[in-house]
Each structure stands twice: as C-alpha cells, then as structure tokens.
Amino acid sequence: MTDLETRVRPPGAATLRRAAPALLGYAAVRALGLLALVLWSAARDKSAYTLLTARWDALWYTRVAELGYGYRVRLPNGDIHSNLAFFPLLPWLERLLHAATPLSFADAGFVVSLLASLAAAWGVFAVADHVYGRRAGVYAVLVWAVLPVGIVQSMAYSESLFTALAAWSLYAVLTGRWVAAGVLASLSGLTRPVGLAVVAAVWAAGAVSFRRNREARRAPPFRPSRATAPGPGTHTGRRASPATRALGMLLAPLGTAGYVLWVGHRTGGGPLGYLDVQAGWRNGFDGGYAFARFVADKFTSFPSALAGLGLIVGVALLLWLYAVCMRQRQPLPLLVYAGAVLVLALCASSYFGSKPRLLLPAFPLLLPLARSLARLRTSRSAAVVGCLAAASAVYGAWWLNGSGPP
C-alpha cells in the first residue's frame, strides 16, 4: 500500500477494523440466541419471527408507524393505553424503511433493530476502548450481548436504537465532539424517556468542562512534567470552544422536550400532558416505593419468596457494580448516565417485569466485568463468555415463548 493510499483511507475504516473482533463476537452471540429461539419456538409450534416483531411493544411501534398517533385502548378497569406513550424515532425509521423498500412495517422494525444493535455494540466498544483499551472494549460488547435479556436487542423494540445513540453520544462527549454529542442526545430523547439520562451526562460533562476552563484561566501557567504528562495512547479529547460546548448542551434536550411538549399540546394537558398519558399505563415515578412493595409481596409464600430473594440479590448486584464503577473512577459522563438509567428504571412505579430490559442501556455498569475478563487468559475468558452465551440463548428462547418482555 502506498503512502497516498494510506492517507486517503477513510478514518472510519481503521475504526471499524479495530472494532471488528467485538462486532464479530457480538454477531455470533446474537446468532446463537436467534437459533435457540427458532428451535424452541418450533418445538412449541410458535413463530419465532412473530415473537420478535409482532408482540408486546413491537405491535405498538408498528401501529404508530402505520397509522400515526391517536390509537388508544380502554381496559375493563378504566385505564387508557395510548400510543402517545411511545416515542417516535423508531416508528419514523420503520416508516422510512417501509417507504423505501418492499418491507412491511414489522419487517422494517426488525431490520432497524438488527442494524441498531450492531451500531450499539460498536458504540459500547468505542466507549470502553477509549477508556480502558481495545481488549476491555471487546469484552464489554460480549458481556452486553450475553445478558439474560439480551434477546431484546434483536427484537423490534427501541432498546438497541436507544443504546446506540446513547453510547455514541457518550463517546462524542469523551472525545470532545460536543455538537455531535448534543445531536445524538437529542435523538436518544426522541427514542425513549430515559433519553434524559443522556442529557444529564452531556450537561454534567459540559458543566465540569466550563468550570475547569475557568479555573485554568485563573491558574498560573503550568508545564507538565514527565510524571504528569499523558502517557502513550492516552485519549485526552479535542479542545472545543465555549460556544461549541454550549451549543452541544443546548441541543441535547431538544428531542425529549420537543416530543413531551407536542404530546401536551395534542392532549390539551399542557407541559405535563405526557405524564397523564403515562398515568393511563399506570406508569410513574415514586422513588421505588411500588417496586419495594412488589418485592416484599413475594415473601408471602415459599415459591415466590425465592423470586423475591433473587430480585433483592439482583438490585444489590447492580448497586455494587455502580459502586465499583465509582471506585474505578469511570469518567463522569458514564457515571451520570449509568446512575440516571438505574434510578429511572428501578424507581418507576409499574411494569416490574420490564425492569431487566429497561436496564439494558446501562452498559457502563458492565465495564468492571469486562476489565476482569480482559485480565484473564484468552482461553479462560472465552470459556466464560461461551457458557454465558449458551445460558443467555436458552433463557431468551424460554422467556419469549413464555411471559416475554411486557
């Protein structure tokens, strides 16, 4: 290869080549999960494709794409389930792909989800690689892929799309690309309500950046010594002007704010009209009180007490992982984002069975596990990941053929 060919090679090519092992491993894990689902569903005379594209929330997204907003269902108890509860970016993409190809709306949702899951895996790798190095980045993607509810990443749901936008927004913040971070945060806010977590991360990083710049201007000039200078391979991000940082911070909340205000205008409920829509689904934020009662009620009988104990262990594990992330001094945007996702997922007042999938985007919590796997010999870490992938595939197939994600 000539020097000219090296110079004109698109920057993304080297980035993609660096991420290739992570993406190939991710694709292998997801393929295993889909194969297990197909086999399990066939044994139960069910359609695996229907489970992935035309059940639960996937149906609501497809209806929005096909018919627009305004569809409501009144339940026997008087609750009203409105499709205004579902943010619009995924249905918009489904409609766009349907218009551009022969795909049905459901097929388009599946394709969008598959592509978004690969983009999410790449984003998770980019963040972990930037902070801890390539090997940790590969294992971060693999750990995210083998989560027990990882099959949701292949469903026509918005989790994969949101995780992709969130991960790349965080990467943009870490590398000083403030306008890109703001745009991606705004798009994440058009995908799920938890887009507020991305906004919080962008704002926190921006506020700290402004403060450090102000302190640097007041401090006397300082020449770093060899001991304090960044080492080889250290990523310090780009320098950005205050105006660029401010623009990124201003762009970040526009997606969430725009949709919420539009829903309030459409329903006549004012700025808080979206909360009324969520109340129709018995969704709300109560600081975790309803979830605590849900767990406590599990201890009324022996079989359910085991489930209650499992829930307590699961929550304790999440909190422990977050504490480890803090001890390992993860970058502030990752801590703010993961903490916000945790709070919003655990403190919601309804749909307790949804909490595992609502936590899927909280990938920074997995970085301590990825670092631990990266320290092992490749043969050992591969064996661990392989066993987890098999268990995840079996669990995902059993789960979707049973209660599934509400």
Res 234 pLDDT > 50: no
pLDDT-based confidence at residue 12 (cuts at 50, 70, 90): low
Does the pLDDT of residue 4 top 60, yes or no? no
Task: Count the neighbouring beta carbons within 10 Å of the beta carbon of residue 214.
Answer: 11
- The pLDDT confidence band at residue 186, using thresholds 50, 70 and 90, is very high
- Determine if residue 329 is left, alpha or beta; phi over 0 gives left, psi from -120 to 50 gives alpha, anything else beta: left
Give the per-residue SS3 of 179-243: HHHHHHHHHHHCCCCCHHHHHHHHHHHHHHHHHHHHHHHHCCCCCCCCCCCCCCCCCCCCCCCHH
What are the two backbone dihedrals, phi and then psi, of residue 351, each rounded to the nearest 5 degrees?
50, 60
SS3 of residue 400 by DSSP? helix
User: 3-state DSSP call for residue 175?
Assistant: coil
Distances (CA, A) of 125 to 17, 144, 240, 330, 391: 12, 10, 24, 15, 23
Per-residue pLDDT, 6? 34
More reliable by pLDDT, 145 or 270: 145
Q: Please determine, for residue 226, whether its predicted confidence score (pLDDT) is greater than 70.
A: no
Closest by CA to 351, choosing from 301, 278, 263, 273, is: 278
Q: What is the mean pLDDT of residues 401-405?
A: 87
Question: Among 9-23, 33-47, 107-121, which stretch is predicted with the lowest mean pLDDT?
Answer: 9-23
Rounded to an integer, what distance in angstroms lies between the CA atom of residue 326 and that of residue 130? Answer: 17
What are the angstrom distances between the C-alpha of 311 and each of 248, 286, 348, 364? 38, 18, 15, 21
Q: Is 187 left (phi over 0), alpha (psi -120 to 50) or beta?
A: alpha
pLDDT at residue 16 is higher than 90:
no
- Kindly report, residue by residue over 317-364, the tens digit of the pLDDT: 999 999 999 999 999 999 999 999 999 999 988 777 788 999 999 999
Mean pLDDT of the chain: 90
Q: Domain residues of the chain, as ranges?
A: 20-219+241-400
pLDDT at 217 over 90: no
Under the banding of pLDDT at 50, 70 and 90, the label for residue 77 is: confident
Nearest to 181 by CA among 197, 195, 165, 193: 165
pLDDT at 150 over 70: yes
Write out pLDDT tens, residues 199-210.
999 999 999 988
Q: Are 56 and 404 in contact (CB under 8 A)?
A: yes
DSSP 404: -
- More confident position, 260 or 2: 260
The pLDDT assigned to 5 comes to: 34
